[in-house]
Amino acid sequence: MMGWGWGGGWFGLWLGLVLLLGVVAAVVFALVAAAGHPQAGPPVGPSPPAGQPGAAPVSEAERILEERFARGEIDADALARGRQALRNR
């Protein structure tokens, strides 16, 4: 008696196909989520000149100064003095 029960006939074929597609979709979703957002890149447009707020630091020491400023540990004056001291050494 073929076709009786949950696993026989066309129903079993469709069920297997849906489950397989679900597993594939879950794997693809997990890989995309683990990779982050690949379409996100660096900001578009001109970068500010060096020494201006938002300018990319030119050294590791300037990067640390920028981080301290971002955390609120130092103010804008201390940031400017620190940059000036680093560039004059």
Q: What confidence tens digit (pLDDT) does each residue in 18-75 have? A: 999 999 999 988 888 777 655 555 555 555 555 555 555 567 888 899 899 999 999 9
φ/ψ of 32, rounded to 5, equals: -65, -40
φ/ψ of 5, rounded to 5, equals: 95, 180
Is 46 part of any domain? no
Task: Please give the model's pTM, rounded to 2 decimal places.
Answer: 0.37
Give the number of residues written for the chain.
89
Number of domains in the chain: 1
Is 50 part of any domain? no
Is 29 part of any domain? yes
Is 45 part of any domain? no
Is 41 part of any domain? no
Is 16 part of any domain? yes
Is 1 part of any domain? no
